Amino acid sequence: MQNITAIVLAAGRGTRMKSALPKVLHKLLEEPLLSYPLRALAELGIKKQLVVVSDDQDGDQVENSLSEFFAIDWPRQTQARGTADAVTAALKTLDGVSGTVLILCGDVPLLGSETLQLFYQKHRRNRSQLTVLTAVLDDGGSYGRIILDNEGLPEAIVEAKDATPEQLLVKRINSGTYLVDIDLLRRALAETDYDNAQGEYYLTDMVAFARQNGASTAIFDISDYREILGINSREDLIDLEKIMAARISRYWLSNGVTVRFPETVRIGPQVTLGQDSEISFGVSLSGKTEIGGSCHIGAGAQIKNCKIGDQVEIKHYSVLEDAVVEENSQIGPFARLRPGTEIGAGAKIGNFVETKKARFGKGAKASHLAYIGDAEIGEYSNLGAGTITCNYDGFKKFKTIIGRRVFVGSDSQLVAPLKLGDDVLVGAGSTVTRDVADNALVTTRTRQKELAGRGMAWRRPSSEEQ
Ligand code: UD1
Ligand code: MG
C-alpha cells in the first residue's frame, strides 16, 4: 500500500465533546485519538499522509501535538463546510498526484491496519474505482445508509438526516472510510453541492457521481462493526477505550503475559511486555513502555514511557515516568520514579522514595522515605530512611555524586553540589555540606549529652500512667 495517498479528516468541530481541546487530541489509553489512525497508516507503510485540520488555533494545536511523531502534511480547511470540502482542501496540495486515495476519519480509533489491508486487497481484486468500507448494524442510527443496486453494488449513500423512512431501515452503513481513484475523486468533488438537510458538502455524494459517470463502485463489509465506531461524545470515548483496553489485554493474555482483572487494567497500544510477566489489578501502562520478562507489576501501579528489564518487581501503587529500571530490581510499594531516573540491576527503591534525574548503580538501595534528585549513587551504596538530596537553592539545581559502597545514615541531608567518595560512612542525622574523601566517616550532629536523673524533671505522668 506504499504508493497510495492517505487523507485523514480531522477538521470537524467536535462540539458534542463540550471541550476547549480539539476532539482528536482527547486521549484514549493516554494517546491522542488521532494517533490511532496515523499509527495504522504507518504500519501499512503509506508514505504520503495528509491530515486535514481546521485553519485556526485548534488546527495549530493538533499539528503541534503530533507533527513531532508523524511525518505528515497538514492541509487546512478554512470552514467546516462538510466532508467533501475537507477533502478538497487536501486535494489542493496534491496537484499532479495520481493513483489511489485512502480517506479516513480522525475520530475512528479502532480501525486497524489488518482491516485496512483486507479492504485494499478487495478494492484491487475488484478493479473498483471507488470502494466504501461498510458495516451491517441492527440499527443504522445516524450513519449514512448504503443504497445498493440489483447486483449488490453501491449506487448512493444517503445521510440519515436526508433519508426517507424506508431508507432508514437499511442496515448497511457507511463507515466514512473509502478507497478511490484520485481522478474520479477530483471530478466528483468539483460537482458536489450543499443542497441537503445539513447544508454541507457531502463526500458521500461521490458514490452517486461515480455511478452516473460509469465508474465502478464496490463495498467491503467489515467483520466486526466495533472497529468503525467513531467518537462524538465523552461517553463514546470511554466506551471505545474499554473496547480497546480489552482487546489489548486479550492480546497479551494470548502472548504469555498474565493480566489479572483485565477489566481494570489499561495497557497502551505502544506498550510491549515480555514472557511470564504478570500485571495486577488497576495497573496502567502507557506511552512507549517496554517491560521485560518475568516481571511483576503490582496493583495500581502507573508506568509511562519506561523501560523495565527482566525479573523486576514493581510493587503496588508505584508511579514511574520516563525512567529506566534494569533487571532484578525492586521498586515500591508507593515509590515515585520521576523523569530521568535510572535504576541499576538488583537495586532497591522502597516505600515513599521519590527519585528524579537520579542514577542508582548496581545493587544500590534507598529502602524507605527519601528524596533523591539530580544524583548519582555508586554501586552497592545504601541510603538510609529519610535521606534527602538538597538539590535546589530556589534558583538552580545542583548535583550530588555518591561513590561506591557508601552508607548514608538515616535522616541525613546531602546539600548539593556535593561529592561523597567511595566507602564513606555518613552518621545518622547529618547535614553534609562539603565533599567527603574516600573511606571517611562523617557526622555533623551535636554530641550526645546525658543528664542523670533529669528524665522526669519537666513533665508529670497522669494518675493513670503512674
Ligand atoms: C460522515 C458520513 C456518513 C458516515 C459517517 C461515519 C458524510 C457526509 N457523511 O458523517 O455517511 O456514516 O461519517 O462516521 O461524509 N470533517 C472535516 N471537515 C468538515 C466536516 C467533517 O474535517 O467540514 C471531519 C470530521 O472531523 C470527522 C469526519 O470528517 O473526522 C467525519 O465528519 P462528521 O461530521 O463526523 O460526519 P458524520 O456526520 O458523522
Ligand atoms: Mg461523525
Q: Are 443 and 457 in contact (CB under 8 A)?
A: no
Per-residue pLDDT of the chain (466 residues; tens, 9 = 90+): 888 999 999 998 789 999 999 999 999 999 999 999 999 999 999 999 999 999 999 999 999 999 988 889 999 999 999 999 999 999 999 999 999 999 999 999 999 999 999 999 999 999 999 999 999 999 999 999 999 999 999 999 999 999 999 999 999 999 999 999 999 999 999 999 999 999 999 999 999 999 999 999 999 999 999 999 999 999 999 999 999 999 999 999 999 999 999 999 999 999 999 999 999 999 999 999 999 999 999 999 999 999 999 999 999 999 999 999 999 999 999 999 999 999 999 999 999 999 999 999 999 999 999 999 999 999 999 999 999 999 999 999 999 999 999 999 999 999 999 999 999 999 999 999 999 999 999 999 999 999 999 999 988 888 898 8
Query: Ligand 1: does its nearest atom lie under 6 Å from the Cβ of 205?
Result: no
Question: What's the 232 CA to ligand 2 centre distance in angstroms?
Answer: 6
pTM of the model: 0.93
Query: Ligand 1: does its nearest atom lie under 6 Å from the Cβ of 106?
Result: yes
Pocket test for ligand 1, best of 17, 63, 105, 167 (most atoms within 8 A of CB): 105
SS3 185: helix
Ligand 1 atom index nearest CA of 174: 12
Q: What is the CATH number of domain 234-442?
A: 2.160.10.10
Q: What distance in Å separates the CA atoms of residue 172 and residue 345, rounded to the nearest whole number? A: 56
Its sign, for the CA torsion 373, 377, 383, 389, is negative
Q: What is 47-99 written as a DSSP string?
A: -EEEEEEESSHHHHHHHHHHTTTS--B--EESS---HHHHHHHHHTT-TT--S
Query: Ligand 1: does its nearest atom lie under 6 Å from the Cβ of 10?
Result: yes
Question: What's the 203 CA to ligand 1 centre distance in angstroms?
Answer: 8
Ligand 2 ion local residues (Cβ < 5 A): 230
Query: Ligand 1: does its nearest atom lie under 6 Å from the Cβ of 177?
Result: no
> Grid coordinates representing 183?
481522478
Q: Are 372 and 392 in contact (CB under 8 A)?
A: no
> What length does the chain have?
466
SS3 463: coil
- Active-site entry in 26, 296, 316, 368: 368
Name residue 319's amino acid.
V
In sequence order, what are the residues at sequence separation of 6 or more whose Cβ sits closer than 8 angstroms to the Cβ of residue 262? 245, 246, 249, 250, 253
* pLDDT computed for residue 2 by the predictor: 80
> Grid coordinates representing 191?
460537482
Asked whether the domain spanning 234-442 has the same topology as the one spanning 4-228, the reply is: no
Question: What's the 176 CA to ligand 1 centre distance in angstroms?
Answer: 7
The partner residues of 48 in beta bridges, in order of sequence, read 5
Query: Ligand 1: does its nearest atom lie under 6 Å from the Cβ of 409?
Result: no
* pLDDT computed for residue 466 by the predictor: 80
Query: Ligand 1: does its nearest atom lie under 6 Å from the Cβ of 109?
Result: no
Query: Ligand 1: does its nearest atom lie under 6 Å from the Cβ of 163?
Result: no
The partner residues of 101 in beta bridges, in order of sequence, read 5, 180
Residue ranges covered by each domain of the chain: 4-228, 234-442
Which uninterrupted H or E stretch holds 217? strand 217-221
**Paired sense of beta strands 27-28 and 31-32, if any:** antiparallel
* pLDDT computed for residue 218 by the predictor: 98
The partner residues of 148 in beta bridges, in order of sequence, read 154
Q: Tell me, what DSSP letter sits at residue 364?
A: -
Q: What distance in Å separates the CA atoms of residue 271 and residue 303, rounded to the nearest whole number? A: 10
Q: Are 152 and 216 in contact (CB under 8 A)?
A: no
Q: Whose CA is nearest to atom 11 of ligand 1?
A: 144
Helix (H) and strand (E) counts in the chain:
8, 37
Kindly report the number of other CB atoms within 10 A of residue 395's CB atom: 5
Its sign, for the CA torsion 452, 455, 459, 464, is negative
Kindly report the number of other CB atoms within 10 A of residue 79's CB atom: 10
* 426-437 burial: b if 16+ Cβ within 10 Å, else e: bbebbebeeebe
Q: Are 433 and 407 in contact (CB under 8 A)?
A: no
Q: What distance in Å separates the CA atoms of residue 389 and residue 360, rounded to the nearest whole number? A: 14
Torsions phi, psi for 390 (to 5 deg): -90, 90
* pLDDT computed for residue 460 by the predictor: 87
Q: Which of 175, 197, 192, 173 lies closest to 87 in space, CA to CA?
A: 192
Question: What's the 182 CA to ligand 2 centre distance in angstroms?
Answer: 23
Q: Are 338 and 356 in contact (CB under 8 A)?
A: yes
Let me know if 368 is a catalytic residue: yes
* pLDDT computed for residue 461 by the predictor: 86
Q: Are 401 and 419 in contact (CB under 8 A)?
A: yes
Q: What distance in Å separates the CA atoms of residue 55 and residue 11, rounded to the nearest whole number? A: 8
Q: Which CATH architecture has domain 4-228?
A: Alpha-Beta Complex (3.90)
SS3 248: helix
* pLDDT computed for residue 1 by the predictor: 85
